[in-house]
């Protein structure tokens, strides 16, 4: 579970996110409130890019466990 105080879900204003796969500067996250997924990019502690991503792919549950269920 990751709290992102400088980013809220674009759909439900949630602020608690489940981390997903990451690579380079990018991190995929899933909103715990509504289940929407985003790819966020941070550099030097600043949020640079936020993009919606498709929810159809399955994240490995052993690597990215669900919380608050």
Return the domain boundaries, the chain: 2-48
pLDDT in tens, 50-65: 999 988 877 766 665 6
For the chain, what's the residue count? 69
Beta-strand (E) ranges in 1-69? 2-3, 16-23, 26-31, 37-43, 46-53
pLDDT in tens, 13-51: 998 888 888 888 899 999 988 989 999 998 888 889 899
- What pLDDT score was predicted for residue 3? 47
> 25-30, long-range: CB within 8 Å, 24+ apart, which pairs?
28/53, 28/59, 29/2, 29/4, 30/59
């Amino acid at each position: 579970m990751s709290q992102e105080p400088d980013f809220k879900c674009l759909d439900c204003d949630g602020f608690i996110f489940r981390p997903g796969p990451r690579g380079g500067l990018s991190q995929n996250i899933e909103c715990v409130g509504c289940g929407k997924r985003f790819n966020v990019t941070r550099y030097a502690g600043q949020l640079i890019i936020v993009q919606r991503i498709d929810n159809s792919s399955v994240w490995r549950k052993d690597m990215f466990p669900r919380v608050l269920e």
